[in-house]
């Protein structure tokens, strides 16, 4: 029985091993470094030395800033469009519940994953055209207000339909609660909502696409399957039940995007654990390519200034329940309780105000980080890819429910909350117009903005 050694008994020798390995990476590249590690692992195992199996990686972005590709879009224009879509999605649910109390709907889910959808639609999702098949998208069911909001801005849905959210049989037509092609055959392609159906169906759709290709029945090479899923949804047995099939069949035409906002319908997804780390281990162990998008660009200078590696170590200590606490607390609390555990951490943020600490952006809300993850997924060969994107549930709702456990069921907002939302996202609506909760439309009129 080998004795576990908890402390470094020869720090100098340890550093020499690290320096040697760094030289291998710098001189011969990461593939050579992986080969060397594999040989060391094999030697240890064949000589009876326990070698720890750890499918997880540090709680940091998989793609560092120096490996990010250039962002191809105009960030200002894209933010403007995304903000209008955020407003329309919020107004869709708030107006519906104002008209008929208790009609339901979800503001907070799309608020958390707006950037995930926006980057995909703008830069990756390809429609069906005469020359080729398009991508197949399984949208996160509770985010349907955001998909309707974008379609309205594009002129694909009428104002009457928007007024009849969750009333698809109302006069003039309406919109179904969740994606379903039986209810809206000209709009939705696949039925989804939080029952694990999107995950398993997406896997078999990607497999069927390969079946058609391999038998010469259809050229599905340009077709990628995307599944947008919630972190709480991943607890459904169907969500993880077929992931080994995807890796066994080498379905590199499949990408999962898991919106990790750490909250489910009735509370935290993992209060005393880390759902991102848990999902990484499950997918990596099943043979998937895993890309984590944890922090936004606000954090990059902090990591670069961290010569001792104390920031990744600290992030790895935090459980999801505490991350949620940081979301709703002021910057002074974050400074004391997150950075205040080590003088070196405090020095990293001594130039930042408390307000700036509050606003440190997460990866799932940073278009450049999301674009990098999507680009890596579409370029990767031989494995399906899962992107684990850290977000805040109810992002932008402020006191109405940002990051709070009640936010999943948020359906109403008062005038002050609407005003705060409008100001945060630069929505061109006057104080007087706030009372109407009007939609921002595409057509040019005296009361609407031309997009």
Domains (ranges, CATH) in the chain?
Answer: 11-52 (no CATH), 66-296+361-434 (3.40.50.970)
The answer to whether the beta carbons of residues 331 and 353 sit under 8 Å apart is yes
Q: pLDDT by residue for the chain (451 residues), tens digit each? A: 334 445 778 888 888 988 899 999 889 988 898 899 888 888 888 888 887 666 678 999 999 999 999 999 899 999 999 999 998 998 888 887 777 666 767 788 898 999 999 999 999 999 888 877 899 999 999 899 999 999 999 999 998 999 899 888 888 888 998 999 998 999 999 999 867 889 999 999 999 999 999 999 999 998 999 999 999 999 999 999 999 999 999 999 999 999 999 998 778 899 899 999 999 999 999 999 999 999 999 999 999 999 999 999 999 999 999 999 999 899 999 999 999 999 999 999 999 999 999 999 999 999 999 999 999 999 999 999 999 999 999 887 765 556 555 544 555 667 787 888 888 888 888 887 777 778 888 654 434 433 3
The answer to whether the beta carbons of residues 321 and 268 sit under 8 Å apart is yes
Provide φ and ψ at 386, rounded to 5°.
-115, 130
Which pTM does this prediction carry? 0.87
Residues 6+ apart with CB under 8 A from 315: 58, 59, 60, 294
DSSP state at residue 291: E
**The total number of residues written for the chain in this structure:** 451
Strand ranges, E, within 346-430:
385-390
The answer to whether the beta carbons of residues 138 and 228 sit under 8 Å apart is yes
From residue 41, how far is each of 22, 37, 50, 62 by CA, in Å?
Answer: 18, 6, 9, 23
Burial of residue 22 (CB within 10 Å: 0-12, 13-18, 19+) is exposed
The answer to whether the beta carbons of residues 442 and 155 sit under 8 Å apart is yes
Distance CA 175, CA 157 (A): 9
Q: Which helix (H) or strand (E) holds 328?
A: helix 320-328
Query: Buried (b) or exposed (e) across 238-262, using 16+ Cβ within 10 A?
Result: ebbebbebbbebebbbbbbbbbbbb
Q: Contacts by 176-185 with C-beta closer than 8 Å and gap 24+?
A: 176/144, 177/104, 177/105, 177/144, 178/141, 178/142, 178/144, 179/139, 179/141, 179/144, 179/147
Provide φ and ψ at 180, rounded to 5°.
-160, 120
User: At what angle are helices 30-46 and 11-28 packed, to 10 degrees?
Assistant: 130
């Amino acid at each position: 029985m080998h004795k576990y050694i908890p402390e470094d008994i020869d720090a100098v020798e340890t550093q020499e091993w690290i320096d040697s390995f760094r030289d291998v990476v710098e001189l011969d590249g990461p593939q050579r470094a992986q080969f060397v590690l594999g040989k060391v692992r094999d030697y240890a195992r064949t000589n009876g030395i326990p070698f720890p199996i750890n499918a997880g990686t540090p709680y940091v972005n998989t793609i560092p800033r120096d490996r990010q590709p250039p962002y191809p879009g105009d960030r200002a224009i894209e933010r403007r469009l995304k903000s209008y879509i955020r407003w329309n999605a919020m107004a869709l649910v708030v107006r519906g519940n104002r008209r008929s109390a208790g009609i339901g709907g979800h503001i907070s889910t799309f608020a958390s994953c707006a950037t995930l959808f926006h980057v995909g639609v703008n830069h990756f999702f390809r429609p069906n055209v005469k020359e080729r098949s398009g991508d197949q998208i399984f949208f996160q069911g509770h985010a349907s207000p955001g998909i309707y909001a974008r379609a309205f801005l594009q002129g694909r849905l009428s104002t009457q339909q928007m007024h009849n959210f969750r009333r698809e049989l109302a006069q003039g037509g309406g919109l179904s609660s969740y994606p379903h092609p039986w209810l809206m055959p000209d709009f939705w392609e696949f039925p989804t909502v939080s029952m694990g159906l999107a995950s398993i169906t997406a896997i078999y759709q990607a497999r069927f696409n390969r079946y058609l290709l391999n038998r010469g029945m259809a050229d599905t090479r340009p077709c990628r399957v995307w599944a947008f899923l919630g972190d709480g949804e991943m607890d459904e047995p169907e969500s993880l039940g077929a992931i080994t099939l995807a890796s066994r069949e080498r379905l590199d035409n499949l990408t999962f995007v898991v919106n990790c906002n750490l909250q489910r319908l009735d509370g935290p997804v993992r209060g005393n654990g880390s759902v991102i780390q848990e999902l990484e281990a499950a997918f990596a162990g099943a043979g998937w390519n895993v890309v984590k998008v944890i922090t936004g660009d606000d954090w990059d200078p902090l990591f670069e200034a961290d010569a001792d590696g104390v920031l990744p170590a600290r992030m790895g200590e935090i459980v999801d329940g505490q991350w949620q606490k940081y979301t709703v607390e002021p910057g002074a609390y974050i400074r004391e309780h997150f950075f205040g555990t080590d003088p070196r951490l405090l020095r990293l943020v001594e130039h930042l105000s408390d307000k700036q600490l509050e606003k440190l952006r997460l990866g799932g809300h940073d278009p450049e980080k999301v674009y990098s993850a999507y680009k890596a997924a579409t370029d990767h060969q031989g494995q399906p890819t899962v992107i684990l994107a850290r977000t805040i549930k109810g992002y932008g709702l402020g006191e109405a429910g940002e990051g709070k456990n009640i936010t999943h069921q948020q359906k109403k907002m008062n005038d002050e909350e609407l005003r705060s939302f409008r100001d945060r996202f630069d929505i061109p609506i006057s104080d007087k117009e706030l009372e109407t909760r009007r939609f921002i439309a595409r057509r040019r009129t005296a009361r609407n903005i031309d997009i």
